[in-house]
A and B are shown apart, each in its own frame.
Chain A
Amino acid sequence: MNTEFPLWEVFIRSHGGLQHKHVGSLHAVDATMALENARDVYTRRQEGVSIWVVPSNAITASDPADSDAFFEPAKDKIYRHPTFYQVPDNVKHM
């Protein structure tokens, strides 16, 4: 008797000007129900001004088992960071 509703991921913008952030998940038959349930469960104390719901199975995630190799290209590029560059102490506002 598998009656389980599809799973949705919930993202909330807590204040105007901020990005949406993942807050959790829930089951709902469709996007409308997912939005309403997300409002009832995740914004009972005005935690948000905007909600996104995304079907969980629509998300493609990187594989943690491959993360060393996957993120490797950025590892040795220290010249992408400001601290890589020498600037005399008396230079201000930089």
Chain B
Amino acid sequence: MTQLLQLEDRFQARIDAEQKIEPKDWMPDAYRKTLIRQISQHAHSEIVGMLPEGNWITRAPSLRRKVALLAKVQDEAGHGLYLYAAAETLGVSRDQMYEELHAGKAKYSSIFNYPTLSWADIGAVGWLVDGAAIMNQVPLCKCSFGPYARAMVRVCKEESFHQRQGFEIMMTLAHGTPAQHKMAQESLNRWWWPSMMMFGPNDDASPHSAQSMRWKIKRYSNDDLRQKFVDVMAEQAAVLGLTIPDPDMHWNADRGHYDFGTIDWKEFDEILRGNGPCNKERLDARNKAWNDGAWVREAATAFAAKRKSATA
């Protein structure tokens, strides 16, 4: 008992001293579990996140846009891999994580359960969704768990191109013909509130946050990050000449921040419960890809075994 307390104290002291925790170091069970949950959910989000954008690859309006979108979606696959690998260092297997995702037991970011209805949505996703992801991810580069932090450094390096390509699409449409401008505005209208939800529940409704902050997995609260997002996006929307669909959004000189309206958390909860517009479609697509790939995995294993016995 006392030995466990001693280990926990020493662990927390290392965290407080900004030392990194590595996979083979002693760690509390709850720290391990929290990280496995968070990193695997993050990995699933990268993988499922390829689906709404993959939807437009064949219909990109130019070759330039197409190669950019292909490269972005390919990056997201890489992000998924870095993150799965980081989670595996904690003792969970890749197959276990896949099984949970495919069985609908694992969570991933609610944002990817919305459909991409027009080409402008690819712009909005890059600008807003990758923008929100970057804001969430930059502080994770300093997360106390070494493999997660290192994976996030790579991810963040790659993300900035994602947001810029999205912004460029929005810029082109917003300053294009009136029909294109309208398309960009409608897309912003669709994606604004779901993007705001990406920072998670309000701080007073986020029970695990305090512990994650103490463990330095999390560095800023959900509401702080959301405010930062609002302040940045308000100005970027003005550059685009688009209107953020929030009548309550105003500059507040006293706070030095933009005020904004209330999020519809019922919609968020419904999506988490599996009732978003695309939850079923996303899960079906992942299951199909996994099942359709079974023969490829079997063939690769058989081929490797054959080659090995030929050289032995």
Residues of A within 8 A of B301 (CB): 3, 5, 29
Contact B298 A3 (CB under 8 A): yes
Report the separation of the CA atoms of residues A84 and B308 in the bound assembly, to the nearest whole angstrom. Answer: 55
Is there contact, CB below 8 Å, between A24 and B304? no
Q: Is the CB of A30 within 8 A of B24?
A: no
Residues of A within 8 A of B94 (CB): 4, 27
B307 x A64 contact (CB < 8 A): no
Contacting residue for A30 out of B71, B95, B154, B304, CB 8 A: B304
In the complex, per-residue mask of A17-61: 1 if CB is within 8 Å of any chain B CB, else 0: 000000111110110010000000100110000000000000001
Known interface pairs A3-B298, A24-B151. Does A29 touch B303 (Cβ–Cβ under 8 Å)? yes
CB-CB nearest in chain A for B94: A4
- For B308, list chain A residues within 8 Å (CB): 30
Q: List B contacts of A65 (CB < 8 A).
A: 26
* Residue B74, interface by CB 8 Å: yes
* Contact of A26 with B81 in the complex, beta carbons under 8 Å: yes
Contacts of A33 in B (CB 8 A): 300, 304
Residues of B within 8 A of A4 (CB): 93-95
Which of B85, B307, B308 neighbours the largest number of chain A CB atoms within 10 Å of its CB? B85
Say yes or no: B25 contacts A64, CB within 8 Å: yes
Per-residue 0/1 for B267-307: is the Cβ within 8 Å of any A Cβ (1 yes, 0 no)? Answer: 00000000000000000000000000010011011011001
Majority secondary structure, B binding face: helix
**Residues of B in contact, count (CB < 8 Å):** 28
Q: Count CB-based A-B contacts (< 8 Å).
A: 49
Cβ of B259 under 8 Å from chain A? no
Q: Is A72 part of the contact surface with B, judged by Cβ < 8 Å?
A: no
Beyond A24-B151, A30-B308, is A44–B78 a contact (Cβ under 8 Å)? yes
**Chain B nearest CB, measured from A28 CB (Å):** 9
Query: A2 contacts which chain B residues (CB < 8 A)?
Result: 95
A53-84 interface bits toward B, Cβ cutoff 8 Å, 1 = contact, 0 = none: 00000000101110000000000000000000
Write the residues of chain B forming the contact surface with A, with a CB cutoff of 8 angstroms.
22, 24-26, 71, 74-75, 78, 81-82, 85, 88, 93-95, 150-151, 154, 158, 294, 297-298, 300-301, 303-304, 307-308
Q: Which 8 A-B pairs have the closest CB atoms?
A: A29-B304, A30-B304, A29-B300, A25-B85, A64-B25, A4-B95, A41-B78, A64-B24
CB pairs A–B below 8 angstroms (16 shown): A2-B95, A4-B95, A7-B88, A24-B82, A25-B85, A26-B81, A29-B300, A29-B301, A30-B304, A30-B308, A33-B300, A33-B304, A45-B158, A61-B24, A63-B24, A65-B26
Given contacts A5-B297, A29-B300, A33-B304, 16 further A-B contacts (CB under 8 A): A3-B297, A3-B298, A23-B154, A24-B150, A24-B151, A26-B85, A27-B94, A30-B304, A30-B308, A44-B75, A45-B158, A61-B24, A63-B24, A64-B25, A64-B26, A65-B26
